[in-house]
A and B are shown apart, each in its own frame.
Chain A
Amino acid sequence: GNSVTQMEGPVTLSEEAFLTINCTYTATGYPSLFWYVQYPGEGLQLLLKATKADDKGSNKGFEATYRKETTSFHLEKGSVQVSDSAVYFCALRTLSNTGKLIFGQGTTLQVKP
């Protein structure tokens, strides 16, 4: 079945450090891939998405590239800020499953000044 696996957290970084959060997926067909972010006390927000192989999604300095050969969609940011502290969720959606999102377990990022 379809599934998403994320790296274990929490990830603790100093401000301006480089961030990578790994995400791999298993899916039938050609899924769309997403990163959502959940700030403390808030709902999930779409951070970026990619709908086909080799697409790069980007937003707010974050990037992720859809790698079909490695079934991965790793999230990266060159220089994190304290305000990036949140929980990050990788998710997939296939055309065959009515549009529902299938999420990974989430990775908590803590950025220290």
Chain B
Amino acid sequence: EAGVAQSPRYKIIEKRQSVAFWCNPISGHATLYWYQQILGQGPKLLIQFQNNGVVDDSQLPKDRFSAERLKGVDSTLKIQPAKLEDSAVYLCASSTPGLALNTQYFGPGTRLTVL
């Protein structure tokens, strides 16, 4: 079974530029998560989708971050314009529907450096 795919693996941009990350979840997984992991910290949820609907985006800085999940499969996370403090690893995870018991499977992440 293929895992969660993410691209690119690394990205370096200058502040005020825009950037986009892509995630392809495990086939059949209706729930998709984007987490931000700043160096030295644990991952923090940015947004959660159930199929193509948003379940939780309370921690997403909506003035600069946006995400979509068209057709309930792939997802794209965008930052525009980027700030220095956005330097982090962006992790995508997916799971089958349900709340407490279903395991979240993580992709390898995209490491973003903002100069």
Contact = CB atoms under 8 A, between A and B. Distances in A.
Nearest to A100: B45
Interface residues of B, number: 29
Contact of A46 (B40, B91, B99, B103): B103
B41 A106 contact: yes
Interface residues of A, number: 25
B55 interface: yes
Contact of A100 (B33, B102, B103): B33
Interface string B89-102: 00101010011111
Contact of B98 (A41, A44, A45, A99): A99
Given A32-B101, A36-B106, A46-B105, 13 more contacts: A32-B100, A46-B104, A49-B103, A51-B101, A89-B42, A94-B100, A98-B55, A98-B99, A99-B95, A100-B45, A101-B45, A101-B104, A105-B41
